[in-house]
Chains A and B, each alone.
Chain A
Amino acid sequence: MYDFAYHKPATLSEAVALLADPDARPLSGGQTILPALKHRLDRPSALVDLSGIAELCGIRREGDRLVIGAMSRHGEIEGDATVKAAIPALARMAGNLGDTQVRNRGTMGGSLANNDPAADYPSAALALAATFVTSAGRRIGADDFFQGMFATALEPGELLTSIEFPIPEKAGYAKMRNPASRYVMAGVFVARGPEGVRVAVNGAGPGVFRQAEMEAALAADWSPEAVAGIRQDPDGLNGDIHGSAEYRAHLVTVMARRAVLDAG
């Protein structure tokens, strides 16, 4: 790892000022950026540790929305009574990603801002029609936030502060993990709520995407059978040594069925 300056600001405005340096990088849980830095995949001038900023912490319910501070750690989300009551599928997702040690450090905001195609949260955020609140005072809808592999609508130096989830009537998630890396080969999150029926697919493509055909089928008939016959087009999906695009397309249908079962 190349050396860098380390800063731990106490306020959001200090953090934003430090991140005005285009070579500085934010550090949330560190479970992605530190392995990357160890392999010298990046050479930041400074890391700005966000863990001392109270404004980024906390989980609360505000009316019909669940608000999760960007620095909430996976392990905290997994065990949080408010999350479990409002969106149990989201708590289950948080408890089933990475491993215990990653969940003790990694954060929801860090994962979403990174937008790894094989990460879990992007499909939940997209299917639940989450709103992303940022340090620039912007409120970005999930349909605009995710912009393909490792790309989001965040501007350089702009930080996620919280994520707001409209509370659904039903939500469920299922994924197939790579047996070695444990990253997602294909995952599907289904939700029925104030934003209608939404189905989002992670892991299978270069970025998270909605599956319109499954959304229409589930809007007409919310049952596992409704999606069991829908074939995902493999065109544009990821194909690599772990699985072909056709295999991942097949998994999308299987995971969609299981996600509806999970939602109940």
Chain B
Amino acid sequence: MPTVNLTVNGQPRSVEVEGRTLLVELLRERLRLTGTHVGCDTSQCGACVVHLDGESVKSCTLLAVQAEGGAVTTIEGLAAADGTLHPMQEAFREYHALQCGFCTPGMVMSAIDLVKKHPDGMSEHEIRDGLEGNLCRCTGYHNIVKAIAAAQEVIHGRRATLMPAEA
């Protein structure tokens, strides 16, 4: 069986897999990082989004062996060691950008990549367009969009702290 060597949330890992093992299976079943979810089997829902070498990918549509030598970040790898949330996580909390929470890890990982790709900031329309690959069946997206709009200001350094959500 092939062995995959990769970095997951900063930790070097070496895992024996089958050729057909998906990256999401390696993360969830072998490394027990169950924050990354699987919501469909058609590569559409985005619950499984992680970062591979800094770019968002659907870990259900990537073989573990394709991540050989790569650096993977999952939702578990975002918060600081002392538990301080990533600004995107903090924004999702502040803006109540989730209800059941199933899609949230993928939403947060996609949102971070989206913000990184738009250093000049995004309009509401651009944020909605950018979430094409992530489905949420509870929120109607409104608070997710607001959270990302607020988080981008902090991530790009235009604000020191999140603008509080309206009560």
Contacts and interface: CB of A to CB of B under 8 A. Distances in A.
Interface of A: 1-6, 8, 27, 30-31, 34-35, 37-39, 47, 49, 51, 75, 98-102, 104-105, 181-182
Across chains A and B, which 8 residue pairs bring their CB atoms closest together, nearest first? Answer: A99-B133, A6-B19, A99-B132, A1-B20, A104-B55, A101-B58, A3-B20, A101-B133
B19 A37 contact: no
A34 to B, nearest CB: 5
B18 A3 contact: yes
Contacts of B66: 27, 30, 49, 51
B46 A101 contact: yes
B63 A34 contact: yes
Contacts of B68: 8
Interface in B50-66: 55-58, 60-63, 65-66
Contact of B113 (A2, A30, A37, A100): A100
Interface string B1-43: 0100000000000000011101000000000000000000111
Contacts of A75: 55
Nearest to B66: A49
Nearest to A46: B19
Contacts of B117: 100
B74 interface: no
B41 A101 contact: no
B63 A30 contact: yes
A261 to B, nearest CB: 20
Given A4-B19, A35-B42, A30 B132 contact: no
Nearest to B52: A104
A101 B19 contact: no
A100 B130 contact: yes
B20 A2 contact: yes
A51 B57 CA distance: 15
B147 interface: no
Given A101-B57, A105-B61, A35 B19 contact: no
Contacts of A5: 19
Given A30-B62, A39-B41, 20 more contacts: A6-B63, A6-B65, A8-B68, A30-B61, A34-B43, A34-B62, A34-B63, A37-B20, A47-B63, A49-B65, A99-B132, A99-B133, A100-B132, A101-B49, A101-B58, A102-B58, A104-B56, A104-B57, A105-B57, A182-B132
User: By CB atoms of chain B within 10 A, which of A1, A5, A98, A101 has the most?
Assistant: A101
A31 B55 contact: no
27 contacts: A3-B19, A4-B19, A6-B65, A8-B68, A27-B66, A30-B61, A30-B62, A30-B63, A31-B43, A34-B63, A35-B43, A37-B20, A49-B65, A98-B132, A99-B46, A100-B56, A100-B117, A100-B130, A101-B58, A101-B110, A101-B133, A102-B58, A102-B133, A104-B57, A105-B57, A105-B62, A182-B132
